[in-house]
Amino acid sequence: MTGRLSGKTAIVTGAGSGIGRATAIRFAQEGASVVAAGLPEGLDETVEFCREAGVRAVAAVADVSQATSGEAILEAALGISSCANVLVNNVGIAGTTAAYDTTDEEFDRVFDVNLKSVLRVSRPFLQLCRSQSAPASIVNISSVQGILGFPNNASYAATKAGMIGLTRQMANDCARFNVRVNVVAPGIIDTPRTEERLRDSPAFRKLSVQSTPLGRPGRADEVAAACLFLASDDASFITGQILAVDGGASATVFRS
């Protein structure tokens, strides 16, 4: 690796598995100290993988649906470094119903975890950024479902679209103190959350894979590579943008 994040401290939420774990490990391999944040399952293992890269890494157990989660995560970061430079907001849960069947309770739950948490975790990080001179970067993990319509995902799609709007607003609000904010929009990615559905549901596989021009699911490390680019100085003049990591799905119509 090339040390593209050497000297930086990175916070990654939802780091216990999938895209979050892959991103935390890739950041560690590129020289960042890492705070792996989220629910307990898998966090310690992610931290060990990060430490194998020779960097400092800690777990920050936090439920991002709780009001004080952002402060707790930032406190863990400041326990290993005097500043924090990178934040990846990756936590997300799925909605599984069409708009006409989505209840207020489901919508509120998905909204609270997927979208409200971005503000909840970013706010203390940004307040710190305003007081430190070093540039910083936030990468929010949205989805192509925030750009395109898919069946039976009304609450999930709404929150992922909202994340794109919030990202652009944050980019405008925060540029004055040298913070860049961008969004990665993955397509179908082979993670523990999707593996079973890809294997057991032909309809899901057809919709998600056969409609992807590259003809396969993406890998978590491919999303991590996009996050690394946006977090690094290679993207120093990029803010408020959407980077789709979707095998071309957002560039085409459904292919049967």
User: Catalytic one among 27, 49, 125, 156?
Assistant: 156
Give the end-to-end CA distance of the chain in Å, rounded to a whole number: 40
Residue 27 near residue 37, CB atoms below 8 Å: no
Residue 24 near residue 86, CB atoms below 8 Å: no
Instruction: Verify whether residue 100 is a known catalytic residue.
Output: no
Residue 228 near residue 30, CB atoms below 8 Å: yes
Give bridge partners of residue 190 from the DSSP assignment: 219
Beta-sheet strands, E only, within the chain: 9-13, 33-38, 57-61, 86-89, 136-141, 179-186, 189-190, 218-219, 242-245
Catalytic (active-site) positions: 156
